[in-house]
Homo-oligomer: A and B are copies of this chain.
Amino acid sequence: MSTVIKNGTIVTADLTYRADVLVEGGKIAAIGPGLAGDQVLDASGCYVMPGGIDPHTHLEMPFMGTYSADDFESGTRAALAGGTTMVVDFALPSPGQGLLDALRMWDNKAGRANCDYSFHMAVTWWGEQVFDEMQAVVGRGITSFKHFMAYKGALMVNDDELFASFRRCAELGALPMVHAENGDVVAEMCARLLAEGNTGPEAHAYSRPPQVEGEATNRAIMIADMAGVPLYVVHTSCEDSHEAIRRARMQGKRVWGEPLIQHLTLDESEYFHPDWDHAARRVMSPPFRSKAHQDSLWAGLASGSLSVVATDHCAFTTEQKRFGKGDFTRIPNGTGGLEDRMPMLWTHGVTTGRITMNEFVAVTSTNIAKILNMYPKKGAVLVGADADLVVWDAEATKTISAASQQSAIDYNVFEGKQVKGLPRYTLSRGMVAVADGKVQTREGHGQFVAREPGAAV
């Protein structure tokens, strides 16, 4: 059965033009005027864009004996509802656990995915086994390795481990990624704040100010440079980190920064809300920043010094957040965003004139597809590409609300925000997962996307 998207305007990272799109066998079969197919999706007045790719999610992530509330089913359902057709999740080995062993766990969880997915592998400890298994992991099509410079005593790796792992990445043609915060300083600040009786969620923000993130970003860039690899910096939240990235790029280094939709649109004042629940629900690392930092991130997207907008979707229920009552360091870190990333970015980025439609596609989809070496299978509207598409109605509006969301949690950090720009249709490899705004996903439809090492930078 073929599907044709009629009467729309195709918008890619590169181009804007009117054409129909014919989908067959999960792939784009033709692009041009006057195409016909078995099923017709009307894109009149809409933009036809590559489906969004969210390269930063934590679905069903283990945490203190429980799991983050959105699993691969609800998470990818939320993604599709918002126009995102692929997620890249982080496989997180426990300390001492082998990479391949961890991967098996993630493979299992991902079986329920409604859309395509891939993994980054986290390097949460260092040893010969990790060194060796990195090759097998790359062989499995997972060519990006995440490193935590924070979460001391848990996921954090030290500089010598970073350097060793980055050099291993260089050998394997893999891409290192970092969560950049100085874990030593954060740990001391947390201890000090608790000791001083600052136990509430606002202390979370005090414990990891922008300079702590800027420092770690700067350090990771140096280590990558010495190891001879490019670097991908996840959740760049502030000018300090952005400055380090810009400075590196202006020296010709290959470094990419990833602001989150949360940091682009929400600010630190959320932590001063009198309601503990309100503030705790927004606890994530890095925390929300001031408006001056937001301006820096938006300018980075416009100028190209920042490359990708993600979510770090890691949803915990209010119940789970309350683990941290009386001790902010025990509040599970994370917020949702998968359903809201594309509408929020369109609303605050495209309709305001900060970025063009083409840049919207670049930062939500095409850039990361290239960085992760899966372009043009993903991130493109080209014949032969996977039919991961979104038909975008730039006039459609809604008010974001937990009451109507796909995510399994009981709140939404964007609650009450008006958005303009929503999917009319979302297609996952040709399957119409959203039709006229109605979600009709199919559990398990999603497939793993293997990637080749050695991407050109």
Evaluate contact between B215 and A188: CB separation under 8 angstroms. no
Evaluate contact between B252 and A298: CB separation under 8 angstroms. yes
Evaluate contact between A222 and B16: CB separation under 8 angstroms. no
Evaluate contact between B300 and A250: CB separation under 8 angstroms. yes
B-binding segment of A34-42, A85-93, A157-165, A423-431: A157-165
A:239-263 near B, CB below 8 Å? 243, 246-247, 249-254
Contact with B along A267-309 (1 / 0, CB 8 A): 0000000000000000000000000100100111011110000
A187 within 8 A of B: yes
B-binding segment of A46-54, A70-78, A354-362: A354-362
Evaluate contact between B187 and A160: CB separation under 8 angstroms. yes
A:176-223 near B, CB below 8 Å? 182, 184-185, 187-189, 209, 211-212, 214-215, 218-219, 222-223
Evaluate contact between B14 and A14: CB separation under 8 angstroms. yes
What is the CA–CA distance of A184 and B211 in the complex, to the nearest angstrom?
A: 21
Q: Across the interface, which residues of B come within 8 angstroms of A305, CB to CB?
A: 249-250, 303-304
Evaluate contact between A299 and B184: CB separation under 8 angstroms. no
A15 within 8 A of B: yes
Evaluate contact between B14 and A185: CB separation under 8 angstroms. no
Evaluate contact between A254 and B214: CB separation under 8 angstroms. no
A136 within 8 A of B: no
Interface centre among A14, A16, A246 (most CB of B within 10 A): A14
CB-based nearest B residue for A31:
B383
Evaluate contact between A182 and B159: CB separation under 8 angstroms. yes
A151 within 8 A of B: no
A375 within 8 A of B: yes
A207 to chain B, nearest CB (A): 10
Q: Across the interface, which residues of B come within 8 angstroms of A17, CB to CB?
A: 376
Q: Across the interface, which residues of B come within 8 angstroms of A64, CB to CB?
A: none
What is the CA–CA distance of A357 and B457 in the complex, to the nearest angstrom?
A: 10
What is the CA–CA distance of A15 and B159 in the complex, to the nearest angstrom?
A: 35
Contact of A215 among B222, B250, B358 (CB under 8 A): B222
Contact of A219 among B182, B254, B302 (CB under 8 A): B182
A451 to chain B, nearest CB (A): 15
A163 to chain B, nearest CB (A): 5
Would you list 22 pairs from A and B whose C-beta atoms are within 8 A, ordered by A residue? A14-B375, A16-B456, A17-B376, A160-B185, A164-B188, A185-B223, A211-B226, A215-B218, A215-B222, A215-B223, A218-B218, A219-B219, A243-B247, A246-B250, A249-B303, A250-B305, A251-B299, A252-B295, A252-B298, A252-B303, A292-B292, A356-B457
Q: Which residues of A contact B (CB under 8 A)?
A: 13-17, 158-160, 163-164, 182, 184-185, 187-189, 209, 211-212, 214-215, 218-219, 222-223, 225-226, 243, 246-247, 249-254, 292, 295, 298-300, 302-305, 354, 356-358, 370, 375-376, 456-457
